[in-house]
Amino acid sequence: MPQTVRKFAHGDYTVGWICALPETEFVAAGAMLDEEHPVLPAVQSQDTNSYLLGRIGDHNIVIACLPAETTGKVSAATVAKDMLRSFPAVRFGLMVGIGGGAPYYGTQGYDNNEFSEQEEEEEDSEDDLEDIRDIRLGDVVVSLHSKSAEAVVQYDFGKSLQEKEFVHTGGKLNKPPVIVLSAVSVLQQQHRRKGHTTSELLADALSKNPGMAEEFRYPGSAKDRLFKPDIVHLEGRKSCKACCGPNNVNLVRRTDRHGTAPKIHYGTIGSADQVMRDAVLRDKWAQKEKIICFEMEAAGLMDSFPCLVIRGICDYADSHKNKIWQPYAAATAASYAKELLLVIPGQGVMDLCPIKQSLGKIEANVDTMRSKLARKEDHDLLNWITPDDYGPLQSDYFRRRQAGTGEWLLNSMEFQMWLKTSRGTLFCPGIPGAGKTILTSVVINYLTRRTFEDGSLGVAYVYCNFQRKDEQTADRLLSSLLKQLSGRLPTIPGEVSNLYNQHKTDRTRPSLEEISRTLYSVAVKYSRVFILVDALDEC
């Protein structure tokens, strides 16, 4: 009799595997499947994820990848949310992919930028539990908390206190189930005694997927180069040889490893909205938060999605980034994930509660993150228009006034007529030191209070200063007006976004004509716009 092919349903999949890069991480994940299952029809019209389905050991796995050319925590959270809607039986998640490594940890730094076998032996002889441990390209980092550090920290989320250091207030990753952490412990002790099988699993995957063999193989130690933290790769230069100086001076000298097998490291993974490309900042966070790996997606799974994060190290989170190691690093991370799943009992996973019970919380987190990201993007766009901010000056001048100052002007017939005139200029001349600047701040305060009551009114202002005459050019002053009027609207106008998109790629600046045209298009969105200029003669 012909063998019956088992049909699978959405409810048969208990492990969710999330990755970010289609060409490397998604490919590596699929190569680890012991058995690949047919794609199931969509059950949720809102679910736009692409899935790979299959089995590893005792577990049916659903693998989802972020859309092409999209990264970050919001995308990761959205993929997780949609996965749980379509696959309601998922019990826990794995976030598997690449990341940037902190080269050394368990030390106070590496001032000499070199380590020898003798130094390592001295550390070992002192039986120090936190001896010098170096991370190399292709190694794997697994998120694991300790008594003094979290498994994942969102290191770009916090608050600055006056005269104090930045205080981290980010969320914490919801720990994976105990059964997963227990499996990590099993692997740790097995690796200490017998070594890991990550390399063997990777070799097996490449033999079964010959199309991957060339791209995903080990690139070679000669291509694993660690530059000293103060050596910065010049932007726009493709080759380090041309801009980073001689290797014998600017590279960190490291002891050769025995063999090519990757090492597995356990500790804190740092997650943020931007790629870490700064060696000095990398080392600062490595020491401050004990971060040994930097990435961009895990923060999106914080608080609500029980997840273990596994990262293959593809660079050193510095300015010397390149893509040579990305395929191999993605493959080593995927191989560790498979090795982990092979020691987790299938029945133990079935006994866990599905994550879908927390779906409401995940959806709320996605909405919150989208809102925060939109605010950040708006902030970045407005600062691109101009970094100038006259708000602090306005606050300072207005605080200096005496009670009742300027009331005579606000109540004057000339001022009241100007308020009611659709198009008009109110010119207020005076001798130096007469208090015109303080009066300007009073008028600005009066008008901005009116805009809170009537959102159709726009207010923008500049404080000219003869000491900044060279800076306060026409395009800069108009840019400030554009920034203020754009920022007061509920959303950034499309004309402003278009201007930004036209120039951001080539890092060019808009012309005076472009700024003027965009300023007009924004101004007409208000019923009336009040423009105030102090010390016009000083511009």
Contact 233, 243 (CB under 8 A): yes
Domains and CATH numbers, the chain: 15-105+132-377 (3.40.50.1580), 386-538 (3.40.50)
The model's pLDDT over 478-502, given as tens digits with 9 standing for 90+, comes to 999 999 999 888 888 999 999 998 8
> What does the alpha-carbon distance between residue 365 and residue 77 come to, in Å, rounded to a whole number?
8
CB-facing half-sphere around the CA of 249: CA atoms within 13 A: 6
pLDDT at 100: 95
pLDDT at 108: 45
The model's pLDDT over 359-414, given as tens digits with 9 standing for 90+, comes to 556 555 655 655 555 677 788 899 999 999 999 999 999 999 999 899 999 999 99
What is the signed CA dihedral for 61, 66, 68, 74, rounded to 10 degrees?
A: 180
pLDDT at 291: 93
Intervals of the chain under pLDDT 70: 1-5, 106-132, 157-174, 233-249, 302-304, 357-374
CA nearest neighbour of 260 among 220, 315, 224, 226: 220
The contacts of residue 61 (CB under 8 Å, 6+ apart) are 13, 15, 16, 17, 33, 53, 54, 55, 341
pLDDT at 119: 41
Which helix or strand (DSSP H or E) is residue 292 part of?
strand 291-295
User: What DSSP assignment string belongs to 42-110?
Assistant: PS-TT---EEEEEEETTEEEEEEEPPTT--SHHHHHHHHHHHHHH-TT--EEEEEEEEEEPSEESSS--
pLDDT at 239: 62
What is the signed CA dihedral for 291, 296, 297, 298, rounded to 10 degrees?
A: 10
> What does the alpha-carbon distance between residue 473 and residue 471 come to, in Å, rounded to a whole number?
6
**Which region, left, alpha or beta, applies to residue 194 given φ > 0 means left and ψ of -120 to 50 means alpha?**
alpha
> What does the alpha-carbon distance between residue 524 and residue 515 come to, in Å, rounded to a whole number?
14
* CB neighbours of residue 200 within 10 Å: 13
Pairing of strands 92-101, 307-315: parallel
The contacts of residue 506 (CB under 8 Å, 6+ apart) are none
Please give the single-letter amino acid code of residue 141: V
Number of H helices, E strands in the chain: 18, 16
Please give the single-letter amino acid code of residue 200: E
CA nearest neighbour of 340 among 120, 51, 143: 143
> What does the alpha-carbon distance between residue 493 and residue 95 come to, in Å, rounded to a whole number?
36
Contact 438, 401 (CB under 8 A): yes
> What does the alpha-carbon distance between residue 139 and residue 135 come to, in Å, rounded to a whole number?
6
Pairing of strands 457-463, 528-534: parallel
**Quick one: CA dihedral 495, 497, 500, 502, positive or negative?**
negative
